[in-house]
Amino acid sequence: MATVLDDIILGVREDLEDRRRHISAPEVARHARETAPALDALAAFRADGPVKVISEVKRRSPSKGDLATIPDPAELAAAYEQGGATAISVLTEQRRFGGSIADLDAVRASVRIPLLRKDFMVDHYQIDEARAHGADIILLIVAALDDVLLRDLFQHATELGMTALVETHDEPEIDRALAVDAQLIGVNARNLKTLDVDRGLFAELAPRVPADRVRVAESGIRNPQDVADYVAAGADAVLVGEALVTGGDPRSAVRTMIEGSR
Ligand SMILES: O=C(O)c1ccccc1NCC(=O)[C@H](O)[C@H](O)COP(=O)(O)O
C-alpha cells in the first residue's frame, strides 16, 4: 500500500515535470551556477553557543492540515532571524504544505542567515532550483531515496557549494547517511510513512551519529522543555515548524527556545 511519503513524492514528481517544461534543466543549472555563493551553513551550526534553531515557514501539513496563513513569509523569517534562529527552513512543496519557490525568494530577500529549501528532493533539477533561488541547504530524506540517488543528490548539492541536511528515522538510515559522509544529520521524530511522532526516538538514535557531525532533532517540538530535552540527548540543533507558526509571537518563541535550553 502506498504511504503518505509515496503519495507526496508522486505529486512532487508531477509538479517537477510541469516546471521542467517551462524552464529547461540546463537553464536552471546555469542560474544555479551564476547565483552568489551559498552561505557556509555548517560553520553556522558549528559555531560556539547555545542550541541552534532552524525555524520553519510552514502553512499546512498532511498531519495537521491548515496551521497558519502566513501572508508574508519574509516578515515571519525576519522575526525568526531577530529571535536568534541559525537558519530558516522554507517548505516549498505546494500540494500538501502550501509552499512555493516564491516563498523561498521572499525569505532570501529578507534574511542573511542560511536558508533551507525543505522539499522532497528526487532530482538535480530541484537542487539547481534551490540554489538559483538562494537556498544554502537542501533536505535529503533517506527514506525517499535509494543509495545511488542519495549519493548522487548529495554530491550534486556539494558541488554547488550547498550543505545537505540528511534526514533519518532509524539506525539503518543513519548508517546510510554516514555512508555518504553527511555532516548535517537530522533525526525526524515524525515517521513520514505513518505520520506518528515519537519524541523519544532522537535519544535512541543520537549515539549512533558521531560527535563530529551536527545532530539535528526534527519535528514535534512544542516548547523550550522539548528543546532542552533534545539538547540533553545530544542535539546540536532543532528544527521547529508548527509551534512557531501557531504561537503568535515567532520572535520571542525562537528566543525562548534558545534561552530555555541553556
Ligand atoms: O509535517 C508533516 O505532517 C509532514 C508530513 C509528511 C512529510 C513531512 C512532514 N513535515 C515536514 C517536516 O519535516 C516538518 O515540517 C518539520 O520537521 C517541522 O515539524 P513540526 O515542528 O512538527 O511542524
Q: Which of 56, 81, 173, 242 is catalytic?
A: 56
Query: Which of the listed residues 53, 190, 191, 202 should we mutate to test ligand 1's pocket, taking the one with most ligand atoms within 8 A of CB?
Result: 190
Q: Is 219 one of the annotated active-site residues of the chain?
A: yes
Residue by residue, DSSP assigns 8-31 as: HHHHHHHHHHHHHHHS-HHHHHHH
Q: Which of 55, 61, 89, 118 is catalytic?
A: 118
pLDDT for residue 68: 98
- Give the separation between CA 238 and CA 189, rounded to whole angstroms: 11
With residues binned 3-state (H G I as helix, E B as strand, rest as coil), the percentages for the chain, rounded to 5, are: 45, 20, 35
Q: Is 64 one of the annotated active-site residues of the chain?
A: no
Q: Which of 61, 89, 191, 219 is catalytic?
A: 219
- CA 27 to ligand 1 centroid distance, Å: 31
Q: What is the pLDDT of residues 46-80, one digit of tens each?
A: 999 999 999 999 999 999 999 999 999 999 999 99
Q: Which atom of ligand 1 is nearest to the CA of 139?
A: 13
- CA 220 to ligand 1 centroid distance, Å: 8
CA distances to 29, 32, 156, 159 from 128, rounded to whole Å, are: 5, 5, 9, 11
Q: What is the pLDDT of residues 147-157, one digit of tens each?
A: 999 999 999 99
Residue numbers in the chain where pLDDT is lower than 50 = none
pLDDT for residue 121: 98
Q: Is 52 one of the annotated active-site residues of the chain?
A: no
Rg (CA), the chain: 17
ipTM above 0.95, yes or no: yes
Q: Which of 58, 89, 129, 191 is catalytic?
A: 58
pLDDT for residue 112: 98
The residue type of 66 is D
Query: Which of the listed residues 12, 56, 61, 257 should we mutate to test ligand 1's pocket, taking the one with most ligand atoms within 8 A of CB?
Result: 61
Please report how many Cα atoms fall inside a 13 Å half-sphere around the Cα of residue 100, on the Cβ side.
11
pLDDT for residue 241: 98
- CA 8 to ligand 1 centroid distance, Å: 12
- Give the separation between CA 208 and CA 116, rounded to whole angstroms: 24
Q: Output the residue whose Cα is nearest ligand 1's atom 13.
A: 219
pLDDT for residue 256: 97
